[in-house]
Structure 1
Amino acid sequence: MTVCAVLFDVDGVLLDSAAAHRKVWNTWSLARGLDPERVWQLTFGRRPEDTVKDAAAHLDPIVERQVLDELLGRETDSIRPVDGAAELLRELSGSLWAIVTSGDRAFVEPRFAAAGLPLPVVRVYGGDVEHAKPAPDCFALAAARLGVAASACLVVEDAPAGIHAAVAAGCTVIGLTTTHPEESLQHAHMRATSLAEVRSLLVTQGLLTSP
């Protein structure tokens, strides 16, 4: 089937938020007597409450999610668009594309506005599905909202959990090496080191035209 839509993860793909998230998780981990490095490795591509369940099963994930959201809400100046994000999204204007993130609407949308990034009509957040990444539900939902088959979607993901979710949904996946080494993204169908390389791959898929 011809690829006709692009689904983007947000953190690590369109927004460079690693420093902000690392600060939040370090603060939270130390306050809870947990190993910050171990907790950090559990966060990528996943909802905060799902990370809490794995990192500290004795804690209430709903309560801890509220604490984490409050900490993240204080991080405003350290989040920037990934190089090339604004230009790439503007080029996709008029095309079928969506964002599919484990993040929250209340965080993502103000950050897009502050970064000058356009928002697509279709936006799937972690709270929109019962089972978040690495389950395929979020990508299946985005495809359904776009009115296309998941197999007609090209996904840009930086985290193994997101790649597993997209592959399980039947999508074609580009693994972007902004937060993980290439060997961690081996389940992706293609790999790219930058959004400039992603753009080139979109051209080869017929989703963009050459400059």
Structure 2
Amino acid sequence: MKISAVLFDVDGVLLDSAGAHRRVWDAWSAARGLDPEKVWELTFGRRPEDTVRDVAAHLDPATERRTLDRLLTREMDGIQPVEGAPGLLESLSGSPWAIVTSGARDFVRASFAATGLALPAVQVYADDVRHAKPAPDCFALAASRLGVPASECLVVEDAPAGIQAAVAAGCVAVGLTTTHTEEALGWAHLCVATLADVRSLVTEYG
């Protein structure tokens, strides 16, 4: 296995934002008369508007996405880097890497700035592709922008939808068990518990 680039999901991988997102989705669900637990289960690794389509087909996804984004901006103080993220990203300085996220562009960039994490030159957001995770488009686009074959890209993901997308794109999918169990990430080529484990993989196969 040869690794020429690393592609990171953001929420649950580089940013510890589960608490913030849970508060936002719980508030939104309550305001719309929906079951918060059922809604929450459908949020991981997906565009908010795709979740809205699944749980509330009578609502306009674009309008609800704007509402969710506004709620999320109020949660900025509750977001921190995942343990090991700063050191891992610093170790990749000068090496090809990218973020591939279903999150909002402005919020992700603001979160990186607030937490002191470095942003890579290549950033792929949900609105950069027609078909979001679990479709492979986002990872294929990141690999193309980096000029690296997808088969040489190590993808670090915490959500089943992201793992499916990475595998479908032909990448090496690593499941980080920060938000889901290893069983839930069953499509992954391997699973690890920490970003220190990811750093070891990159060092070994880079």
Fold similarity call, TM over 0.5:
yes
Aligning the two structures, in what range does the TM-score lie when normalised by the shorter sequence? over 0.9
Q: Which residue of 1 is the match for residue 71 of structure 2?
A: 71
CA distance in 2, matches of 1:190, 1:34: 35
CA distance in 1, matches of 2:73, 2:180: 25
Give the letter for the 2:146 counterpart. L
* Structure 1 residue 184 displacement after superposition: 0.4
Q: Which residue of 1 is the match for residue 94 of structure 2?
A: 94
What is the correspondence of 1:41-60 to structure 2 with a 5 Å cutoff? 41-60=41-60
Task: Name the % identity.
Answer: 71
Task: Please identify runs of 4+ aligned residues in structure 1 that moved more than 3 A.
Answer: none
CA distance in 1, matches of 2:191, 2:153: 16
Gap runs ≥5 in structure 2: none
Secondary structure of 2:97's partner? strand
Q: CA-atom RMSD, angstroms?
A: 0.8
Q: Which residue of 1 is the match for residue 36 of structure 2?
A: 36
Q: How many residues align?
A: 206
What is the correspondence of 1:80-159 to structure 2 with a 5 Å cutoff? 80-159=80-159
Which TM-score applies when normalising by structure 1?
0.96
* Structure 1 residue 149 displacement after superposition: 1.2
* Structure 1 residue 10 corresponds to structure 2 residue 10: yes
CA distance in 2, matches of 1:2, 1:73: 39
Secondary structure of 2:123's partner? strand
Q: Is the 8 A contact 2:3 2:202 kept in 1?
A: no
CA distance in 2, matches of 1:6, 1:62: 31
CA distance in 2, matches of 1:204, 1:53: 42
CA distance in 1, matches of 2:105, 2:67: 16
Q: Is the 8 A contact 2:69 2:104 kept in 1?
A: no
Give the letter for the 1:171 counterpart. C
After superposition, the C-alpha distances for 1:86-133 in whole angstroms (9 at most, x for unaligned) are 010000000010000001110000100111100000000011001000
* Structure 1 residue 21 corresponds to structure 2 residue 21: yes
Q: Which residue of 1 is the match for residue 201 of structure 2?
A: 201
CA distance in 2, matches of 1:174, 1:2: 14
Secondary structure of 1:181's partner? coil
* Structure 1 residue 76 displacement after superposition: 1.2
